Amino acid sequence: MIAEEHWARKGPVSLFLWRKRPQAVRRDMPIVLVHGSSTSAIPTFDLEVPGQEDYSFMEWLAERGFDVWTLDHEGYGRSTVTDSNSDIACGVEDLKAATAVIARETGAMRMNFYGLSSGALRVAAFAQAMPERAARIVLDAFVWTGEGSPTLAKRRQGVDQFRANNRRPIDHAFIESIFTRDKPGTTHPAVIEACAKAQLSYGSSVPTGTYLDMTTKLPLVDPTRIAAATMIVRGEHDGIATMEDVLEFFRLLPTGDKRFAVLPDVAHCTPLGINRKLMWEAVLNFMS
């Protein structure tokens, strides 16, 4: 297995890219994994968990022949921390810069994308803005209009704070709540500990932009303008969106190549759940 770091430039901003690939790549297109609002790239997609095996979605895909990339968006992880609140539009610009580097390194002008939560919004918005680069996309823990979402209803209580501050504090208890708010017991406690430790090693705050977008600006994407083959993945217990919200988005997608998967006993953070491989296998099948 080959692991490499790369950097993309977006004006004065440096974006950290992380890549894993086998010695001989056997797949035509790279896969780009896009993180959500509160945990950055490596804690989400390449996590090492003491006493537990096989929690790196990146490595699992690379072992199956893919060239796999992820990135820290502006203000997250190892990327430059700026005064920006790193909203969805900012994330689209990050993906433009990152995919230019990936194209240069791999020769692939089209790529496949997986996005989690607000990362799914970033991926959908990018596919809408740059259809020539997005071949197949997976939208996991996706929300379209937000109507009826219990998670967003609670999150709206903080709108004034999100408007007044470009960053919000996070701590161990907050990260734990990401895994327990919908249904406790869907993630192993050691995984929660490892994710919190990895994320907090970067600092005790993250940008507010995606939270503000998801509480005040939805919908941010138009399904009728997304040409890429699309798969929507939803955990059975995820409270970020109602089933009706994402099914209507799915219905309006113009592509004839689309899939919708509901995963049993899975909550919001699908890649790190006990039943994570239900999602991993579904993505592998779709990307293959």
CATH number of residue 193's parent domain? 3.40.50.1820
pLDDT in tens, 188-228: 999 999 999 999 999 999 999 999 999 999 999 999 999 99
Task: Read off the amino acid at residue 214.
Answer: M
Q: What is the pLDDT of residue 56?
A: 98
Distance CA 16, CA 76 (A): 9
Q: What is the pLDDT of residue 25?
A: 87
Token code pair at residue 201: 């090693």
- What proportion of the chain, given as a percentage, has pLDDT over 90? 98
Say if pTM beats, i.e. exceeds, 0.85: yes
Mean pLDDT for the stretch of residues 62-78: 98
- What proportion of the chain, given as a percentage, has pLDDT over 70? 100
Partners of 234 in the beta sheet?
A: 262
> Which sign, positive or negative, has the C-alpha torsion 267, 162, 150, 233?
negative
Query: Which segments of the chain does DSSP mark as H helices, in order?
Result: 41-45, 57-63, 88-106, 118-129, 150-155, 159-164, 172-180, 189-200, 209-216, 243-252, 276-287
Q: Under DSSP, is residue 39 helix (H, G, I), strand (E, B) or coil? A: coil
| Structural domain range at position 183 | 2-287
Q: What is the pLDDT of residue 64?
A: 96
> What's the total number of domains in the chain?
1
Specify the residue for token string 């539009």: 89
Find out whether 270 and 242 touch, Cβ atoms under 8 Å: no
CA distances from 84 to 38, 51, 167 (A): 15, 38, 9
Task: Read off the amino acid at residue 55.
Answer: Y
pLDDT in tens, 164-179: 999 999 999 999 999 9
Find out whether 162 and 202 touch, Cβ atoms under 8 Å: no
Q: What rounded mean pLDDT belongs to the chain?
A: 97
User: How many angstroms from the chain centroid is the CA of residue 44?
Assistant: 8
pLDDT at 272 over 90: yes
